[in-house]
Structure 1
Amino acid sequence: MVSGRAISAVYVADLERRLAAAEGARAVETAARIAAETRLAQVEEAHARLERMVKQARYEKFGAKSEKLDPDQRHLPFEDIDVAEGMLAAASDAAEKAVGTRKKSRKPSNRNKGNLPAHLPRIEEVIEPESTLCPCGCGEMVKVGEDRSDRLDVIPAQFRVLVTIRPKYMCRTCAGKSHAQAPAPEWLVPRGLPTEAMVAHCMVAKFGDYLPFYRQADIYRRQGLDLDRTMLANWAGRAAQLLQPVIDAMIAELRRSDRLQMDETYVPVLAPGTGKVRKDFLWAILRDQRGWGGSDPPIVVFQHSRTRSGEIAQKMLKGFTGSTLMADGHPVYDVLADPKQTAKPWTIANCWTHWRRRFVTFSQSTPSPICEEMIRRVASLYAIEKEIRGRDPDTRRAVRQQLSKPIVEALRPWLEGCLQDLSSANDLAKHIRYGLKRWDGLTRFLEDGRLEMDTNGVENAIRPIPLTRKNALFAGSIDGAETWARIASLIGTCRLNGVNPEAYIAATLRKILDQHMQSDIALLMPWNFAE
């Protein structure tokens, strides 16, 4: 007979086998669950990344293009309310007048009071009473005062025809052998219609006010002027060619500048013979010393190119004596700092706004404490910059060393610590590594009071290009794109110097047509213009 002890041993062994099998099955199930959870986490992360991409695409398509809200945009919802309020006020005034009730005295509004410029012509309209005879029969009343009110009036774009008359004189005594007549003035368009002021108006309307030539032609047609858009474009091309020496002199002035900013934007250009539009580029080179009180006037020059390569940037900066170039983090500018590829390497200072913009964009689709903290720290740096703007370079450097440098030095280890908690494939980690890779360029402003923290200056100068591009759709040829660059250079430099570009272009064209000396080209620079 089998003893009870043997039965117990068999039972225990069987139980142990069952337990081992259950633990093995549980381990397999746990491994499968972990694998499934890992795949689920990967899928959820990919899904979240796709959602961010969709949100960002929607924002780029339909959202505001600026990180800063335009103050005027805050008033947009209230404009209709103001219109309705004006309608109610007019109805109330009409009702009070009809009923004959006395209107309560209202406190006069201070809006726009006293803001009518003194140079505007004043047309006085005197409204006399029907009779100045005293109703009591005393005779004519005496004027003892008057009430005056100024109202702003407008005359729509008023065209006029300038008739040039050159009288002919002849001596009758010597049978017509002697005669006199003033020489015909040089015109921009030989035997053409426009004056220099008309051409300047068309140029600034398109390249400064973003009004394409075909829209201008529609406006002129309402006043009975049939000016084809091809005619307007021809005028602009002639003027741009005539103004080329001025632009060359501006470029020569830029070549002597030590610290510059550079950026580029694409422009659509019609490819000849294909019927398609290709993507060309306009490059902007800016000098602006107003941030540190420099004496050189600000200049921006645009140049056209077919591609966006480092070779193009090298070619455009050939002959420049500068040493430091502020630019964004695009790899094309790395070529300029490489001694193996550039004979005279530039020192590249990178832009904080471009780095900050990455965190702003990420936070618009995915709220993140890291983004909020990063934006807050960069904002503290800009608060310091606001206080020292316009101060001399030594003061700016001293303040930056004392206040900005501790913030920047604490930023890097904090970001490196954040990287340890993020997946390497995470978009936020990529944004952090973008700045850490360019750390030397981002921190150069701490050691040089003549540098800014960003390339906002050249970005602001380049902003009219996308607005013109949106309205004009594309340039019709390479010549059209080059004309675009020339005119944009003049208008942009005028704006930087507070000069009316329309008045400047009209006066400069006239001086050049009147044979202005090339040796005195400096007198034609926008910063030397006075209306």
Structure 2
Amino acid sequence: MTPQENFEALFVQVLNSLNSCSRVSARVVKEVGQTVAEMKVAADELSGRMRRESARANKAEKRVKTLEAQVAQLNRTVYGSSSERMTDGDVSQELLDMEAELKAIIPADAEKKSGKQPMKLPVGVKEITRDFYPDSMTCDGCSGDLTPMKTKKYTRIEYQPARVVVFNDTHHECRCNNINCSLRQIKRKPVDRYLDWRRTIGSTLINEFAIQKHYEHIPVHRNWFKLLVAGHNISRGALNRLVNDQAKKFKGIANAITNHVISGPTIHLDETFIKCVHPKEGKKRGKPSQATFWVMTRNESRFNPHAPLAASFYYSPTRKGEVAEELLSSGSVTAMHCDGHPLYNRFKVKLIVQHCFAHVRRKFERAVDAQGSPFAKNIVRTIRTIYDLERTFVGSDSEERAAKRQRHIRPVLEVIKRDLENAQSADGLLEQAIKYTLSRWDHLCRFIWDGRLEMDNNLVENAIRGLALTRRNSLFIQNEDAGESWAIWYTLIETCKLNRVDPRAYIGWITDQLNLTRGKIDPALLVPWLCPVGKYTL
């Protein structure tokens, strides 16, 4: 019984006792009843106030835990992860035994090599060989000639700063002066720089500005200042317009890369935002609106090393899922990696959806930092062990990967799920992490049955890093044309990085090819994995 029910029962018992007593008059019974009724009203009011205060205290306690979690997350961001040893805590013994078995399966040579590695010289870099002899090849004692005895060789890498060169090109028209000639032909050498026609700033300088902005993340105003110091006063607006115009020349190549991405069986899909100052539609001019970059990557290197790696960026003024659906509808994609955002669950395109296990790990890591939960620590440790085992499957075909996952990883995931379902007294970030994981469990475990799928969506998140750095330095884009230009440049640059091709050398190569053919070349022949220059190894 509740305290209120106990009080009412006691009140009824007192009245019955007074009524049964012959010596107590009716007036006394009435007065006692009124007093008890007033006490009951006061008790009800006090009970309601206590409930309100208790609710307020619970709300304040949750707020404190939320703030503590935010502080722990900020500390992790600023100072890095904690080096505290993970204890077994209250995790099940079965999970600990399985983790030990997984560690026994991982071969010893899978460990990363530590220590200083020998320096590798860049491939294709210009080497200059110089021989140094004494200033005088005559002996100071006998004035005889000196003979080389032994040599000492030193190798070093130097950097020569870029230079700006001005070309003054004069094209002469020549004609036949023979009065008896019936043709009287006029000849002129065609312009050899097709992309630079009627430009006062050449493609090499424009490409360098684009590379430094989108690849090296140097804002345009800093490059403008360097030119200004060198004596060249070119407006920043002109530089931005030229970079955007140059991107349009490469749009066909970016479309060829996008077609390659969506022609594969699986993709990694994600999105990121950026502010647009002057949108064409929907907003008043001058009022920033939030636009979206949709990013897709194709990376089958872990089970199909013959498929080229590629990344595709697409600018959209909105975050509507119809944009991504339209991109995927023209391809042959059957499976998609994405995060747990509900946006991807509303796609009308029927795809196999694999959610990201890295997002799950991050949520439990935040619970560890905020609450120090031993249970969360062991979940994180077990997921890391699964990742270590997953790396040993690289190089196997899709069927073999699926078989190994079902044999070694599936039992561990089943135990993890049972532990999450039986977790007691979970609150705060740990409770959020458990709910997040269990609500997406089916989509998280699709990789067990399909060897083409990966555990996480890190491949596309890595491709977004470059854009995020440039966005931090640029704050916003001027208009939608600039957004489309960003998408083209990052499609080329990130695909180069995936195929280990120097973006600066690649952009120079496609510029030369377009100039030589005057733009009459199949863009599919100019994709980064077919570039013969600028390849590097790590």
TM-score relative to the length of structure 1: 0.77
Distance in 2 between the 1:487 and 1:312 partners?
20
The alignment covers a number of residue pairs equal to 456
Q: Which of 419, 433, 437 is the matching residue for 2:435?
A: 433
Equivalent residue for 1:264, pick from 261, 271, 275: 271
Aligned to 1:128: 134
Q: What is residue 290 of structure 1 aligned with on the other side?
A: 301
User: In structure 2, which of residues 367, 385, 406 is the aligned counterpart of residue 380 of structure 1?
Assistant: 385
Residue 172 of structure 1, CA deviation: 4.3
* Cα drift, residue 373 of structure 1: 1.7
Report what 1:346 is aligned to.
351
More divergent stretch after superposition (260-269 vs 298-307): 298-307
Residue 417 in structure 1 maps to residue 387 in structure 2: no
Name 1:102's counterpart in structure 2. none
Shift of 1:416: 0.5
- Residue 404 of structure 1 deviates from its aligned partner by 0.4
2:287 to 262, 276, 280: 276
Aligned to 1:400: 405
Partner of 1:199 in structure 2?
206
- Please tell me the residue identity of whatever aligns with 1:128: P
> Which amino acid letter does the alignment assign opposite residue 335 of structure 1?
R
Q: How does 1:113-512 map to 2 (within 5 A)?
A: 115-117=120-122, 119-122=125-128, 124=130, 126=132, 128-129=134-135, 132-135=138-141, 137=142, 139-164=144-169, 166=171, 168-174=173-179, 177-271=184-278, 273-336=284-347, 342=348, 344-418=349-423, 420-422=424-426, 426-512=428-514
CA contact under 8 A between 1:188 and 1:238: conserved in structure 2? Answer: no
The alpha carbon displacement at 1:161 in A equals 3.3
Q: CA deviation at 1:65?
A: 7.9
Greater Cα shift, 380-389 or 468-477: 380-389
Match for 1:208: what amino acid? Answer: Y
Q: CA deviation at 1:257?
A: 1.5
Q: What's the TM-score once normalised by structure 2's chain length?
A: 0.76
Q: Which has the higher contact order (CA 8 A, sep 6+)?
A: 2
Corresponding residue SS for 1:270: strand
Quick check: 1:133–1:140 contact (8 Å CA) kept in 2?
yes
Rounded Cα–Cα distance in structure 2 between residues aligned with 1:200 and 1:248? 19
Separation (CA, whole Å) in 2 of partners of 1:138 and 1:254 = 73
Residue 117 of structure 1, CA deviation? 4.6
Which is further off, 381-390 or 149-158? 149-158
Aligned residue number for residue 101 of structure 1: none
How many Å separate the matches in 1 of 2:116 and 2:468? 34
| Structure 2 stretches lacking a partner, 5+ long | 1-20, 22-42, 83-114, 534-538
CA contact (8 A) 1:292 1:390 kept: yes
Query: Are residues 1:53 and 2:66 paired?
Result: yes
Whether the 8 Å contact between 2:273 and 2:291 is mirrored in structure 1 is yes
Distance 1:63 1:201, change over 3 A: farther
Moved more, 468-477 or 319-328: 319-328
1:57-83 CA-to-partner distances (Å, cap 9, x unmatched) read 4566675389889xxxxxxxxxxxxxx
Corresponding letter in the other structure for 2:197: P
Q: Distance in 2 between matches of 1:496 and 1:370?
A: 37
In structure 1, the gaps of 5 or more residues are 1-9, 11-29, 70-109, 337-341
